[in-house]
Amino acid sequence: MNKVFFKNLGIIDFKEAWSLQEGILDSIIENKRKKEKTKSHLLFCQHPHVYTLGKSGKEEHLLLKNSELNNKGIGFYKINRGGDITYHGPGQLVVYPVLDLDCFFTDIHRYLRFLEEIIIRILSYYGLKGVRLDGSTGVWLENTESSYKKICAMGVRASRWVTMHGLALNVNVDLNYFNNIIPCGITNKGVTSLNVELGNKKVDFMEVESVFLSAFKDVFECEIINTI
């Protein structure tokens, strides 16, 4: 059974977490070049307010000027993942799997479906039905108006079958920050958060983390090794 080494980074600046992922990815690739055994990693964190724009994104989907970002204390980064623009902030569970897919399966589409499955299982734990939409990576909830709201955004990068970046699950998020962007470049659907869907009650964040770890272990059929 594959082992995945887990660490909760707590609240960490986006750029610092990005650099940490890059370092782990480079280390795994170097071990692969040497034909040495690799380690896969799973990182949890939360970020201070920040918008990130993926390689395929459009900068006009950020609706604020640089001066407005500075005044509001919000960071902005163009980054090397797939996808368009998204928001990270307090109350959001951000997950960065840095996995050597050679040890699991070499299929990025399957990898994304596995990540979606984990979120769907978490939502089911809370009595909610998460769904996939054709052509839109991530997990959504259908509301009473027969439209959809995204609760989990995803964007990944892979190099030599080593992954980085990942997903962001809205748990206790201030959704007003999404008003400053066109989330994921999608104009005809909304965004929601777990606490909103559960009647605007604050959700136990540590419980969500625990449910995620359990689902990750089951879906990827791996052993989770906690690290300090």
Residues with catalytic annotation?
184
Which helix or strand (DSSP H or E) is residue 151 part of? strand 148-159
Report the C-alpha dihedral over residues 17, 19, 21, 26, rounded to 10 degrees: -170
* Amino acid at residue number 145: E
With CA atoms as reference, report the closest residue to 156 among 165, 148, 147.
165
For the chain, what percentages of helix, strand and coil (3-state, to nearest 5) are there?
35, 35, 30
Count of residues making up the chain: 228
Pair of tokens at residue 189? 């659907």
Give the CA distances from residue 21 to residues 16, 95, 168, 219, in Å, rounded to whole numbers and listed in that order: 9, 11, 15, 22
Phi and psi angles of residue 105, each rounded to the nearest 5 degrees, phi first:
-165, 145
DSSP state of 201: P
* CA–CA gap between residue 159 and residue 214 (Å, rounded): 27
3-class secondary-structure state, position 129: coil
* CA–CA gap between residue 50 and residue 148 (Å, rounded): 24
